[in-house]
Structure 1
Amino acid sequence: MTSLRSLTFIFLLLASVGCSSNNKSEPPVNVSLVAPTSPNIQEAENQTVRVFISLDSNTSTRLMVPLNFSGSAEQDADYTASADSIIVPPNATSASVDIDVFRDFDLEGDETITVSLGEIEGNGKAGTMSSISFTIIDGEAVTVDKAPKENGANLVLLNTQYIITEESIDFAVVVLNFSDQNVAPTKLFAEWSSDMDFETDVHSLGIVDIPAFVSGEEKFPQPYEFSLPLSNLAPNETYYIRVYLDEVPEEAIEQIFDNVLLFGFATNAEGKVVTRCEAPVRAASGTEDPLFREQWHLKNSGQSGFANNNGVAGADLQMTEAISNGQNGDGVKLAVVDSGLEICHPDLAATVEEGKSFNYAFQNSAGSFPTDPFNHSVLGDHGTSVAGVAAAVANNGLGGRGVAPGVKLRGFNLGTTLEADFEAELLSSLGGSSSNPDSASAHIFNMSFGSEVPSENSEEDFVNLVKMGTTDLRSGRGALYVKAAGNEFGVCENPHPINIEIGCVGSNSDPDQNLPYLINVGAFNARDVKSSYSSAGANLWVVAPGGEDGEEQPAIITTDQIGVHAGFSKIPVNSLTTDHRSNLDGDYFGGFGGTSSAAPATSGAIAILLGVNPDLTWRDVKHILATSARKIDPDIKEVRAAFNGKPYIAQHAWQTNAAGYSYHNWYGFGAVSVDDAIIMTNGYTPNSLGEFVESRWFPAADNSNLSLAIPDEDGAGVTHTLTVTDLPNTANIEAVILDITVNHGYGSDLGVKLTSPSGTESIVNAPFNVILDEFPGMRDWQLMSNAFYGEKPNGTWTIQVADLAADHTGSLESWRLRFYYGDHP
């Protein structure tokens, strides 16, 4: 059968029937080539041509059929052959050789390959058709667009203060210009309305003249302050504040833009702003959760999840047995570190651990409590939806259920303005505080947030915090830090064709995700392949359900802010709106997604494992997840192209390393499989991975002046090696950190590959990583790979740095490695 990406050319051997095998006068076999049925090869499709020869009768001796390759296409630059001759063993009737055609992005015109028979060794001779030709159809030429990305007059608004008093809402904004251009004077408008679309009942809060911005002047001008008296508002209503520059926004209100700020809030019966969670009365319909049947991420039977298209049965967390057996993570303490948490939500309240949540913004909100992490915005609370994925109550006749409805839930509201001391709040919410808030008693921390910064490493305070958390918390067994990997796979302004296959912004762009103490989680969808947005990279550990948009393809069904007046469910593109008969109270949302969903799904799965065996260490949990993970999308192809005639693999297919672990930069070790992980947990000996050791850097001596020139726009790149010799022979790698410095004029030209002594290859920085656009190379960037898990560290390691775009050049200045390892049974 001929596949879409591989053409088979069958070369028929026309042979006359000779005498018996021991007859020395047996006539030679005639070997002829038959012209292919399709003579054209599409270069852009990376096609492989399998060349067969077949005999119409066997022979008693071996035949070696040399093949000569000619034509306008250049061997080893435009294509390679797996062999230059075909061996036909005695009594065999066929053999083959593969011709691998390279995709490239050069304007070359169509090229030809001619295959002809050489001088045959053995009892054979060339027949009437001794050569064939086919044509490589040239693909589209591509030039990387390196024009400076200027945001011109697209000024950015940021909220620096938002205070709710008994009499007013007082807020301040700054206008920023991050471009290098002059910007003409403009106006800043602030207004409020009871209409979310600002089509009626619009009232001005003020108009400010914004002076011109001159290139090179101060980037952070004075804040502009506004105040909305509560005396202007009616009780039991919902209101919105909009701040914008120059012109009234024409876009839909639910979208976010750099030059528009939107706030929403509700008033209570006294006309004050609602700043604490107020429990509604909800009538349960029996004990069955009515939305559970559509929660494909828990049990996928091919349902649609209220989207226009169905999923594929089995594309889920593989937790049917866990649900049936009531394995719900009972007693495990889960902290959702996020934008808030509605602790009185009808489908969350029963799991909330009383007095353990914290609101860092309570002092700026009159009427709020420090232990109520309520988010007063009515525009959707990310933390409440995250919590529902992990921990929504099961079998209460309301909504759906979470992955681990038996957990003890707490939420930490980090606040949302520039005025907040985010870094200090983050550390104290992730185990760094034992009171006000008490985060140190939590077992799992869900981190469905992130950042993207070019070539930066995690802050020392954060590193020390997660080291402490994995060493000291949970009575020395270590807390679990579960991190969303990012949603930037498709975020390209001017994508290279390869970006479509390997992504735009890599998961390595978040500095914290290059630490071995975190479990980085990507997302897959209801059709059992990577979610379209999920960031890829060598630092992923596993993937979990995240879904797609919720309109065309299923997303995640979870809890939303209470009531029809608030929440993500007001967004029109969400199919489970407040008009839907299954969501008339507005407490649920059917369009949640992103790796923000995949992380709490994994947190819930971990809670189940800790519920089964509380003695598991944080490393045991990582080990079980990796070992039990399900390989999805198993036939995904490698992504490869030639640059200057040198083939370059920009992303590997699934690889199995020397320790037997399969890994892919889209999926890590694979999809979380809860039932299989439970089976492994039941027979697992806790703390059996040996001491967790952080090695010194290799090499120990200064290696900062290599100055190895990197060939421009060349797939071969530059390579260098180092040898590791003095680590224990029993050491098993748990993570490898590469520290690399490259001087270069345009960092996203660069792809970086690391190869272990066992031959496992890992792309630790994919080429055309948009985060490095216009950035000068890499500066002591520490990049983590999980692809070598379980392998031995001693031996020769090889780095390759390739520059795959023209016009900028550079050099590899230094690189070194650090290993985190144990002693695995």
Structure 2
Amino acid sequence: MILRKSLLASSIALLISANAVADITNSTFALAGGDPLTPQQWHLQNTGQSGFSLSNGIAGNDLDLDFAHLMGIKGRGITVAVIDSGVEISHPDLKANVVAGSLNVADGSDFPTDLNGHGTSVAGLIAAVEGNGIGGRGVAPLASLVGFNFLANQTVASWLVSHGLSEDFRALDRFTDPRVFNQSYGSTPATPRAYDYVTNPFLELTDQVQADISLNSHWGRGAVYVKSAGNSFGSYTTAYRGQLIQVLPYEGGQFYNNNGLPFHSANISTDNNNYWNLVVSAINAEGKLSSYSSVGSSVFLSAPGGEYGTDSPAMVTIDLTGCDKGMNVAGDHPNALHGGTELDPNCDYNGTMNGTSSAAPNTSGAIATIMSANHALDARTVRHLLAQTARKTDPTNQGVDLTFENAQGEVVTYNAVPGWQTNAAGYNFHHFYGLGAIDVDAAVYKALFTGVSLPKLQITDWVSTQANVEIPDASLVGAQSAINVEQALTVESVQVKLNIDHSRLRDLAIELVSPSGTRSVLMSARTGFLGGNDGGYTDAVMLNNHFYGEQAQGEWTLNVIDTDKGTSYTLGFNPALGLIGFNSRNNEIAGVLKDWSIRIFGH
């Protein structure tokens, strides 16, 4: 479908050529506006500043948005929903951008009270007001905001209304309705989750709602759901016997030793292996994976999330007002912004916001900015522009090789997480970073001169096979099974559904190889499960974005590899319970890849 270019795009095109714009986007411009904290907001423009922490970042590792801001492309006309702990919508650095539509899902009022500060900080990253002489600015400082305190009242009804299905069930077609939904929350399941509509009808409902709004709202232009990947790279917390325990790896006599591999995968939870959610991992001010960030093949992009704001930079953003609540309170703190300082005497801002909870709103602000460059583009095309322009961050990262002793007593090496790979369609991908780090200026440039949206989305039916292949213990041989996909589609994403019997899922690596020969890791070895569901993986779904742009037609191969014969363990700790061992004995019976299915999202 041929779409009308935005007025701004047309005006720019009359004045300068596309090549000239490309040259400008590769230049650096100082961010104007005069807000006192903006010079420390490294995620906007990284000059090597400290973000009020004890060390500096490395210049250039940012969202690259100075050209867009120079041209006044800052999210105007795009509303972003913050689905979180709430939002202090009366905050002096937010209220000018707040529009009608916020809801307190606990009491029905239009003030989504935030008792935590998390959602308020998220909102500030997206759309803090620029040029008002206070605080800093958002990624999209002219975007509009609505807030929901969904995390305070997590019912089906509150999920529906906060995620776009209004109370009167009208279509999202008003100009003030959200086109971006920010979800800086998630879960870290201790066992795989079944993707089953029969036993979990809420899952079917949420899929249907997100599909409809993603594709059909806003007169067919749709909306984007942004989702944080999680913060469980090294360990996570879960409930066990009615108490919370910290779950961690143990190998070679060392706590927290997981051989450099992620201990928890973003691909475990059903809201992260859902095509409709654009999942993001976090990078720090050096352009490397943030120490906590969950990763996996379901990650689409990476964005700034920072570290902890003490030894190295976190985010500089809005806090709850006053020095008696939020992250920034009166008293001494290693972050130089905190405690009631000259730059922020009322403690209305903070320098310690981090997590994929920060990577998500930085992504939401970026999407709002790109949408505002060309309002005619639909949401899938905006995602496509982000994929096309994402850049390699941490470009020398070689991934992770895992060395282990196989069942015959030989020491073997397995490439458990590949480094950067270029797939058959020319897209770069890394298990840690997805298609790469967001580059706002590059995506805005493409949006200005893009007049054609992607063809209509097609979703194939599940194609299944009965494999019944044994998985050899501690062997690189593994189990293989193939499925032929007949549809001639360009891949946007792939989902795989698995049924595997195995008593130590921590041992297993699961790979998918495309018809073009691209090898991708669906689930890395040493993932810290406490156990399986029904003895292993039962109807577990995994999402993969590695094959973006490749051709779907042909033979897809699944590989399942057992990488351990009982030397790698999972521990739980609680002060009252002490240390608890999980997966401490090797499987006595070889596992079995029973069956699997695949479906393609593409065009």
* TM-score of Structure 1 vs Structure 2, range by shorter chain: 0.7 to 0.9
Q: How does 1:713-732 map to 2 (within 5 A)?
A: 713-724=474-485, 726-728=486-488, 731-732=489-490
Paired residue secondary structure (1:754): strand
For residues 309-329 of structure 1, what are the alpha-carbon distances to aligned partners after superposition, in whole Å with 9 as ceiling and x for unaligned?
Answer: 000000100111112222111
Q: How does 1:254-653 map to 2 (within 5 A)?
A: 288-353=34-99, 355-362=100-107, 370-375=109-114, 377=115, 380-416=116-152, 420-433=153-166, 435=168, 441-453=177-189, 454-457=191-194, 459-491=203-235, 493-496=248-251, 499-570=258-329, 572=333, 574-643=335-404, 644=406, 645=410, 646-653=412-419
In 2, Cα distance between equivalents of 1:627 and 1:421 = 36
Alignment of 1:683 with 2:449, yes or no, is yes
Length-normalised TM-score, structure 2? 0.82
In 1, Cα distance between equivalents of 2:45 and 2:154 = 41
Deviation, 1:579, is: 2.9
For residues 560-599 of structure 1, what are the alpha-carbon distances to aligned partners after superposition, in whole Å with 9 as ceiling and x for unaligned?
Answer: 0011121111284544213322121110010000011111
In 2, Cα distance between equivalents of 1:683 and 1:463 = 32
For residues 541-568 of structure 1, what are the alpha-carbon distances to aligned partners after superposition, in whole Å with 9 as ceiling and x for unaligned?
Answer: 1111100010000000000001112111
Counterparts in 2 of 1:624 and 1:630: CA distance versus 1, 3 Å: same
Letter in 2 for 1:288: G
In 2, Cα distance between equivalents of 1:741 and 1:631 = 34
Question: Quick check: 1:764–1:783 contact (8 Å CA) kept in 2?
Answer: yes
In 2, Cα distance between equivalents of 1:751 and 1:783 = 13
Paired residue secondary structure (2:371): helix
In 1, Cα distance between equivalents of 2:81 and 2:170 = 11
For residues 585-639 of structure 1, what are the alpha-carbon distances to aligned partners after superposition, in whole Å with 9 as ceiling and x for unaligned?
Answer: 1100100000111111110111111111111111101110011011011111132
Counterparts in 2 of 1:347 and 1:422: CA distance versus 1, 3 Å: same
For residues 265-284 of structure 1, what are the alpha-carbon distances to aligned partners after superposition, in whole Å with 9 as ceiling and x for unaligned?
Answer: xxxxxxxxxxxxxxxxxxxx
Question: Quick check: 2:328–2:350 contact (8 Å CA) kept in 1?
Answer: yes
Letter in 1 for 2:309: G
In 2, Cα distance between equivalents of 1:560 and 1:436 = 33
For residues 28-66 of structure 1, what are the alpha-carbon distances to aligned partners after superposition, in whole Å with 9 as ceiling and x for unaligned?
Answer: xxxxxxxxxxxxxxxxxxxxxxxxxxxxxxxxxxxxxxx
Q: 1:787 maps to what in 2?
A: 546
Q: 2:516 maps to what in 1?
A: 758
Question: Quick check: 1:384–1:559 contact (8 Å CA) kept in 2?
Answer: yes
For residues 629-678 of structure 1, what are the alpha-carbon distances to aligned partners after superposition, in whole Å with 9 as ceiling and x for unaligned?
Answer: 11011111132234424532210010101100010010001110011111
In 2, Cα distance between equivalents of 1:818 and 1:744 = 24
Structure 1 or 2, whichever has the larger Rg, is 1
Q: How does 1:58-207 map to 2 (within 5 A)?
A: none
Letter in 2 for 1:478: G
Length-normalised TM-score, structure 1? 0.61
Q: 2:22 maps to what in 1?
A: none
Counterparts in 2 of 1:772 and 1:589: CA distance versus 1, 3 Å: same
Deviation, 1:771, is: 3.4
Deviation, 1:358, is: 0.1
Letter in 2 for 1:648: Y
Deviation, 1:434, is: 5.0
In 1, Cα distance between equivalents of 2:349 and 2:218 = 33
Deviation, 1:517, is: 1.3
Letter in 2 for 1:816: S
Structure 2: segments with no counterpart, 5+ residues: 1-31, 196-202, 236-246, 566-585
Alignment of 1:655 with 2:421, yes or no, is yes
Question: Quick check: 1:455–1:772 contact (8 Å CA) kept in 2?
Answer: no
Letter in 1 for 2:349: Y
Counterparts in 2 of 1:411 and 1:791: CA distance versus 1, 3 Å: same
Paired residue secondary structure (2:193): coil
More helix by share: 2
Deviation, 1:465, is: 1.1
Question: Quick check: 1:741–1:814 contact (8 Å CA) kept in 2?
Answer: yes
Letter in 2 for 1:410: V
Question: Quick check: 2:54–2:311 contact (8 Å CA) kept in 1?
Answer: yes
Deviation, 1:697, is: 1.6
For residues 684-735 of structure 1, what are the alpha-carbon distances to aligned partners after superposition, in whole Å with 9 as ceiling and x for unaligned?
Answer: 1242x21200101223xxx34x3211111112211122222x213xx20011
Letter in 2 for 1:487: N
In 1, Cα distance between equivalents of 2:339 and 2:401 = 47
For residues 345-373 of structure 1, what are the alpha-carbon distances to aligned partners after superposition, in whole Å with 9 as ceiling and x for unaligned?
Answer: 000000000x310001126xxxxxx1011
In 1, Cα distance between equivalents of 2:499 and 2:595 = 5
Give the RMSD, CA atoms, in angstroms.
1.9
Counterparts in 2 of 1:287 and 1:404: CA distance versus 1, 3 Å: closer
Letter in 2 for 1:392: A
Q: 2:459 maps to what in 1?
A: 694
For residues 166-223 of structure 1, what are the alpha-carbon distances to aligned partners after superposition, in whole Å with 9 as ceiling and x for unaligned?
Answer: xxxxxxxxxxxxxxxxxxxxxxxxxxxxxxxxxxxxxxxxxxxxxxxxxxxxxxxxxx
Deviation, 1:439, is: 7.0
Letter in 1 for 2:306: G
